Each structure stands twice: as structure tokens, then as C-alpha cells.
Copies of this chain bind each other. A is one copy, B any other.
Amino acid sequence: MTASESKVFSRASGLAAWKQVADSIEADIAAGRISPGDRIAPEAQLAERFGVNRHTVRRGLADLAERGLVRATQGSGTFVEARPLAYPIGLKTRFSEVMAKAGKEARGELVSAEHGNADAATAEALKIKPGAPVLDMLTVNRADGVPLSLARTFLPLPRFLGLEQIFATKGSLTKAYKKFGLDDYKRLSTRITARPAAADEAQMLDIAPGRTLLIINAINVDMDGKPIQSTLSRFVADRVELVVER
């Protein structure tokens, strides 16, 4: 590994030394010379390569860490972070299609499904009477086996009776809808918040409790504008990046 891979370091460029270090490593990542998961050179080695003090290297790495490009682990090294999966949010967002486009295999796993009664919020979302029967499904959605989100979905019940069994085998809500003669649907509303993961959520998503979750509250309607589902999705924040589509 020669220093020729990196840009030339200039003392008199006006740019702070730590910034030049950071920019150089960022360029290495952007150009694919170092890939997600790779350990970058130890700080001492970087200091020698750039001809700066280790403190200067650390300042640069801190800048990259703050922007989420690398993550330092004491005693182990500094690693290039996996770029989070871009997850589009738009009028017609389909989990399975989004994943297929990203070259990932999407699969929804049914954790539980039960018949319940709509509480005030769910009733308003689905435009049904409070206490009306709903299908209450809990699913874990994975991309290539890695849990991305934990979703609780409410569906109005006379209409989608038995949908959970189709979902369980197909692993896709879109496909399950087709069995009910519903070929197309769209997003009515999307609301986004974030909070730390509770113990049970962490367990199902295979993360440590307290890790950040992106909470998405979505309502989908059929082409007649009739609500067909109200979903509370909990995404592992450092595995996805939500992209708002226009």
C-alpha cells in the first residue's frame, strides 16, 4: 500500500491538516479503494503516511465518524461503515420491489397474527368504528436475512379474513393482497418519528436494546380511497436511510 493511492498532502494549502486527512480517506471510500466492513489503517500508520501527528489523524477520523462513514472500536480498529440501504418513501412504496431493485432478497416473516378490536387511533386511520374487528399482524421484514424492520399492521377484518395465512407462505403483503383481488394500492399518509428500541423490539430485530429506531406510521388505501391497512414500521436506523420520493 503506497501513499500514491491518496491525494497529495499540502501544508500550505490553507486547508486544515485534519480536514485533508479526512478528505483523503473519504475519497478512498468513495472510490471503493476501501469497502464497507474493511478496517482502515491504524491511526499511527496513517499519521506516518500523512506526516502528521496521530492527534491530527484522530481529528480527521472523528469528522468521518460523526458523518457515519467510519466507526471506531476501541482495541479493534476503525471500520468503514456499511452504507445504509436507501428506502424510498413515496406514493407507491412496495417493500419487495424496493429490495428487488437493490439486489436484495426481501422476505416478511409473520411473528404473530390475531383478531382484535380497533382502538381509537386505528379506527380513525382505517375509517372504521372503534371496536370494529381488525387483523393485527406482527412481522419482521428482512433483506438477505438481515432484519430491517419490525412492523405491526392492522387490516379491516371482514375484508381480509385469512390474509395472514397467505402472507405467512408468500412473505409479501402485496402478494397477499392480490389473492384478495386487490392489485393496486397507494400510500395515503406517512408520518415519521424516531426513538430507542425496547428490549422486545431489539430481540426481534437482532440489535442491542436502545439502538435507534425510525418509526414510520403509514396508511395505505385502495384505488377507491378506502383504507386497507395501517402500519407502524420500526426500522433499524443504521441499516436504512429513508429517501422521500417526489
Contact = CB atoms under 8 A, between A and B. Distances in A.
Interface of A: 15, 19, 22-23, 26-27, 30, 66-68, 84, 86, 89, 91, 117, 119-121, 130-131, 187, 189-196, 198, 212-214, 237-238, 240-244, 246
A243 B30 CA distance: 32
B194 A26 contact: no
A89 B37 CA distance: 33
Given A23-B119, A66-B198, 16 more contacts: A15-B131, A22-B119, A23-B120, A26-B121, A30-B120, A68-B193, A187-B246, A190-B243, A192-B214, A192-B243, A193-B238, A193-B242, A195-B212, A195-B237, A195-B238, A196-B212
A244 B216 CA distance: 10
A154 B120 CA distance: 44
A28 to B, nearest CB: 11
18 contacts: A15-B117, A26-B121, A27-B120, A66-B198, A191-B241, A192-B214, A192-B241, A192-B242, A193-B238, A193-B240, A193-B241, A193-B242, A194-B194, A194-B214, A194-B237, A195-B237, A195-B238, A244-B244
Contacts of A89: 244
A212 B120 CA distance: 27
Contacts of A187: 246
A189 B246 CA distance: 8
A141 B67 CA distance: 21
Contacts of A189: 243-244
Given A66-B198, A89-B244, A246-B187, A26 B119 contact: yes
Contact of A194 (B191, B198, B213): B213
Contacts of A190: 243-244
Contacts of A121: 26, 67
